[in-house]
Each structure stands twice: as structure tokens, then as C-alpha cells.
Amino acid sequence: MTGTTGRPTAYERLTVAPWPVPAGRHHQEPPWAGHPALGEVSGRLSTAPPLVSVDEVGRLRDELAAVARGDALVLQAGDCAENLEECGPEQAAARVTVLDALGDHLERSSGRRVVRIGRLAGQFAKPRSQPTERVGGRELPVFRGHMVNSAEPTAEARRPDPWRMLRAYEAAGTVLDAVRKRRGDRDTGPWASHEALVLDYELPLVRGGPEAVGPLLTSTHLPWVGERTRQPGSRHVTLLASVANPVACKIGPTATPDEVLLLSRLLDPGRTPGRLTLIVRMGRAVVAEALPPLVAAVRRAGHPVVWLCDPMHGNTVRAVGGRKTRYLPDLIAEAAAFRAVLEQQGQHAGGVHLETAADDVSECVGGPVGSPDALARRYTTLCDPRLNPEQARRFLNTWA
Ligand code: PEP
Ligand code: MN
């Protein structure tokens, strides 16, 4: 246990996992099985101090419960892939400050309290649709996030290195310090979240909490399971089902009502407000048709989930020249359709999940980035295209 500003103190170290996360490999796991350093890295992570505390996680769950009741909104935002080179104390503070400012902006325009959750302090791993890519005529392993390898297009940089997990852990600690500092004693402060993807990193950071709480994933406040690993019964879903944190799950265009019901039952067996957040990422053309049966099923089953709209991941296109981009009007259209579906069923549209940069990047088209020609000015993302702060404000204006 801990105060709200200091780093968490020790938890009981779990030597035996108290739940049956299915064994075996997953198609999104880094191709480093058998690497001689894995055992040592895992051992170090399993004795490293927890990054978050039971108290913090409980506070966030209470805040999310208020969102589930319709009394507040969520703004979840940050990089698609965090950069290990941008995790120093000042850089971390700058990123948290931008998140908080966007939260203030939404709070002013919506008139509701806004729970601010960063994609930060652990957003270092990316699921990929292909294991390799062609760069300049050469076939290279894909970039999988700074927890795994480096983005530069050389064979050496792309080699997966388990030692990177320790660097990610250290960086996450520094970023979480910035999150705590910013939160101070305010009612609603920033929190950390990331996709729990690399189980070699996440599993050693599960610790035994107080008996009444149960095991805690101490790598972050709010872990989520992504669109590519959210199969009911997957190792990733089982991990999230086994920990006391509030948890989230992406819901893409192919999700069926049965699947979402099963996920809700696994991840929120107690029908606990604040426990489960569903992040809908369908695409502007699909959401109006695909979302209503899912909302109806979850509502009838009585799961008090938080519904968030991720308008980014279903609206990615390639601009001329091959850069990935997203058009602000598409994002706004998906969000409007999302809200209409929720409102039609008397449910609270709980907020948004965005990919944003703290700097004035030019990765998405809209507002200050007038056309795809302007993308080249400052396109620095390690993975997906992010909104710059002005674009994010414009998006949030339309939400309110
Ligand atoms: C992401 O959030 O960066 C991501 C990969 O999303 P999804 O799992 O929804 O595709
Ligand atoms: Mn992304």
C-alpha cells in the first residue's frame, strides 16, 4: 500500500501463478523464444518493485464506475507506440501535461468531469498483421515496439532483444512518476494504460495483493487487450480476467454479440461498475450497423461497462506515397455514429480513445494539416498516425 504520490511499496511476490493462463505461444508474441536472456530478464522483472499500487487502481476503478453511471467522461489518449528515447522526466511531464490539458478542454466543453487516461508508461509493444515487411527491396522483421526491437530498417535493429523489457520497465517507472506528480491531490488525475501484449513482460509483474483484492497487474493502472488478441480464452484475455485492475478490451468490426457477451462474462463476472471498459474501433462506415446488436446484448446481460469510441483504428488509410494517415472528418463521423447508437439504447457514451502526440506533428489530415501533401512536414510516429494537440481539440469540440 502507499500514499497517492509516492511510489508503490512491495507486494507479495507471486512465485506460482494463481490462475491458469493457458501455456503456449501466441502469434503476436515476439520471436525470441529460447533467447538465453529471457530467464534472467523474467527473474529480474518478477522481483522488481510494482509500478502501481492497489490504492491507485482502486481509485481509478471508482472513477470509471462514475463514468459507467453516466456521471463523467473518459479521455484516453497518447502515442500509438511510446518512444523509449522520449521517457526522460521532462519529456514524460510534457506528455502528461498535454493529456491533462486535453482533459481540461473536454471538461470545459462538455460540462462533465473527465477521467484522463494516458496511453503511456508501458505502451511499448505493438501487435502486427505480418511478421516481416519489405523495406527498400529487403525483407525485414517488423518493428514490434521498443519493448521488443528498434524501428530503424536494418536487420540488426529489428532483432528482438529481451533486455529491452527492462529498459521499458525503467522508463515506465519514470513516466509513472510524472503521472503521479501531475495528479497530486486532485479528485481526478491522469492514469496510465497500455495494451498488455508481451506476456513475458506482463506475467512477472502480476503480484499478490491484499486478500480481499486478489492478484494485481502492477505494470499499469488499466491494461487493455487488443483487437488481435481478444479471443475469449486467449492467454491475454485470461490474464486480464485474473487480475483486480479495471480492464479494457478493443471491439472491432467483426465482433459478434456472442463473442462480446462471452468477453463481458469473462472480464466482468461480478457485473461490477468500473471493472470493464469496451473500446469500440469499427470504422465510420461500419459502426452504425455493427454496434447496435453488441450494445443491446451487453445491456440485456446487465454488464455496467464503460463504452468508449476509438475512432482511429478503423479509419486508417494510405496517402499517396504510402504514409499511413487518418482524416479528421472520418474520426468525427465515427464518433457521432457511436454516440447515436448508445443514445438510442439509453446508454451513456463514456468517452473517447485517441492516438495523440504531444508535439505539433503532421500525421493525420484535418485542421492545421490541410491536405495529404502537408503530411511530410513533421511525420515522426513510430507506428500509427496521431492527432496533434490542435487536431485533438477540434475533435473533442465535436464530441461536446
Ligand atoms: C492500438 O491501439 O494501437 C491498436 C493496435 O489497436 P487495435 O488493437 O484496436 O487494432
Ligand atoms: Mn495504433
**pLDDT for 175 beyond 90:** yes
Interval between CA 250 and ligand 1 midpoint (Å): 7
Interval between CA 227 and ligand 1 midpoint (Å): 6
Q: How far apart are the first and last CA of the chain?
A: 37
Q: Is 158 in the pocket of ligand 1 (CB under 6 A)?
A: no
**pLDDT for 33 beyond 90:** no
Q: Is 78 in the pocket of ligand 1 (CB under 6 A)?
A: no
- The mean pLDDT value of the chain amounts to 93
Which residue lies with its CA nearest to atom 3 of ligand 1? 80
Report which of residues 9 and 164 the model is more confident about: 164
- Angle at the Cα of 81 (from 184 to 135), degrees rounded to 5? 165
Which residue lies with its CA nearest to atom 9 of ligand 1? 227
Give residue-wise pLDDT tens across range 282-314. Answer: 999 999 999 999 999 999 999 999 999 999 999
- 300 by Cβ neighbours in 10 Å (0-12 / 13-18 / 19+) ranks as exposed
Integer Cα distance of 258 and 65 in angstroms = 24
Q: Is 250 in the pocket of ligand 1 (CB under 6 A)?
A: yes
Interval between CA 15 and ligand 1 midpoint (Å): 31
Q: Which atom of ligand 1 is nearest to the CA of 252?
A: 9
Integer Cα distance of 45 and 57 in angstroms = 20
Query: Where does the pLDDT of residue 120 fall: very low under 50, low under 70, confident under 90, or very high at 90 and above?
Result: very high
Q: Pseudo-torsion of CA 316, 30, 138, 84, nearest 10°? A: 70
pLDDT the model gives residue 4: 44
Interval between CA 313 and ligand 1 midpoint (Å): 6
**pLDDT for 66 beyond 90:** yes
Please give the domain boundaries of the chain with CATH numbers for all domains: 40-399 (3.20.20.70)
Interval between CA 226 and ligand 2 midpoint (Å): 10
Q: Is 313 in the pocket of ligand 1 (CB under 6 A)?
A: yes
Integer Cα distance of 15 and 204 in angstroms = 9
pLDDT the model gives residue 341: 98
Interval between CA 162 and ligand 2 midpoint (Å): 22
Interval between CA 2 and ligand 1 midpoint (Å): 32
Q: Which atom of ligand 1 is nearest to the CA of 384?
A: 3
Q: In what helix (H) or strand (E) does residue 240 lie, and over which residues does it extend?
A: helix 235-241
- Angle at the Cα of 311 (from 220 to 376), degrees rounded to 5? 95
- What is the average per-residue pLDDT within 102-120? 96
Is residue 202 helix, strand or coil?
Answer: helix
**pLDDT for 201 beyond 60:** yes
Q: Which atom of ligand 1 is nearest to the CA of 127?
A: 5
Dig out the grid coordinates for 226 from the structure: 487488443
- DSSP string for 11-76: -BPPSS-SS-PPPS--TTS-S-TT-TTHHHHHHHHHHSPPSS-HHHHHHHHHHHHHHHTTSEEEEE
Dig out the grid coordinates for 374 from the structure: 502537408
Interval between CA 331 and ligand 2 midpoint (Å): 14
**pLDDT for 130 beyond 70:** yes
Q: Which atom of ligand 1 is nearest to the CA of 250?
A: 9
Is residue 249 helix, strand or coil?
Answer: strand
pLDDT the model gives residue 116: 97
Pairing outcome for strands 72-78 and 349-355: parallel
Most confident listed range (182-196, 230-244, 261-275):
261-275
Under DSSP, the state recorded for 86 is G
Interval between CA 128 and ligand 1 midpoint (Å): 9
Q: Is the pTM of this model over 0.85?
A: yes
**pLDDT for 2 beyond 60:** no
- What is the average per-residue pLDDT within 29-34? 91
Query: Where does the pLDDT of residue 1 fall: very low under 50, low under 70, confident under 90, or very high at 90 and above?
Result: very low
Under DSSP, the state recorded for 235 is H
Integer Cα distance of 2 and 287 in angstroms = 42
Integer Cα distance of 400 and 313 in angstroms = 21
Q: Which atom of ligand 1 is nearest to the CA of 281?
A: 9
Among 117, 147, 281, 354, residue to substitute to test ligand 1 (most atoms within 8 Å of Cβ): 281
Q: Please answer whether residues 152 and 136 qualify as being in contact, where contact means their C-beta atoms are separated by less than 8 angstroms.
A: no
Give Dmax over CA atoms of the chain in angstroms: 57
Dig out the grid coordinates for 282 from the structure: 469499427
Q: Is 226 in the pocket of ligand 1 (CB under 6 A)?
A: yes
Q: In what helix (H) or strand (E) does residue 119 lie, and over which residues does it extend?
A: strand 113-119
Give residue-wise pLDDT tens across range 353-372. Answer: 999 999 999 999 999 999 99
Q: Please answer whether residues 41 and 202 qualify as being in contact, where contact means their C-beta atoms are separated by less than 8 angstroms.
A: no
- DSSP string for 167-192: HHHHHHHHHHHHHHHHHTT-SS-EEE
**Amino acid letter for position 85:** E
Which residue lies with its CA nearest to atom 4 of ligand 1? 226
Q: Is 326 in the pocket of ligand 1 (CB under 6 A)?
A: no
Nearest to residue 202, comparing CAs of 227, 172, 230, 180?
A: 172
**pLDDT for 16 beyond 80:** no
Give residue-wise pLDDT tens across range 202-222. Answer: 999 999 878 888 899 999 999
